[in-house]
Amino acid sequence: MRTIQFMDLGLSEYGQTWERQELLMKGILDRKMANQTLPEAERLVTPGYLLFVEHPPVYTLGKNGEMHNLLLSSTQLADKKVSFYQTNRGGDITFHGPGQLVGYPILDLENFGMGLRQYIYSVEEAIIRTLAQYEITSSRDPKATGVWLDVGLPTARKICAIGVKSSRFVTMHGFALNVNTDLDYFRYINPCGFIDKGVTSMEKELGGWVDFDKVKRAVLSFLLSIFDAEVEHLLP
């Protein structure tokens, strides 16, 4: 069984967490490069990591995103105490903040026998199964990544965003599940570039506060099951 090293970072600033991801990804890529120079019997399995985190309020824009989807000026961002980062992940603009479970799997997909499309499908599946435990029916949108409610209806709304970077089958960035997220922040962007779809949270759908730690445990459990992996806990 594969092993994933898990770290729960609690509340952590976006830029610092991004830097940590980059260092972990570089370590995996360096190991992969070194393995190419060794006989097969001497090659070492590349490690895998999973970070859970909440961020202070921040908007992030993907490498193919459009700046016009951010509806605030730099002055307004400062007034609202919201950070902004242009990132190297896929996707457009999204919001991260307290009450949102952000997960960053930093994995060598070759260890799991899957490509990027199957990887994204697997992450979506873990979220869909988690939501089902709370009797929230969710699904995929064939035209957009992430996890959605009421796909194909005028009431379609996203509950989990996914944006990934991949290099030599090693992933970084990941998913953001709205648990008790303050959805007011989404009014100041066109979330993921959409102007005709809404955003929701578990709290909104269930009509009350949701136990955040319980959601974390469920998501972690389903991710490990889907990736057929066991977890090794690391200190932050």
Q: Which residues of 57-80 are buried (b: 16+ CB within 10 A; e: fewer)?
A: bbbbbbeebeeebbebeeeebeee
Distance CA 176, CA 161 (A): 5
Task: Say how far apart CA 93 and CA 170 lie, in whole Å.
Answer: 22
Which residue has 């009421």 as its token pair?
Answer: 150
Sign of CA dihedral 12, 172, 213, 157: positive
Distance from C-alpha of 84 to C-alpha of 70, rounded to nearest angstrom: 10
* Dihedral over Cα of 22, 228, 150, 141: its sign: positive
Spot the catalytic one: 192, 202, 220, 229: 192
Q: What is the residue-wise DSSP string for 141-161?
A: ETTEEEEEESTTSTT-EEEEE
Amino acid at 62: G
192 among known catalytic residues? yes
Instruction: Give catalytic residue positions.
Output: 192
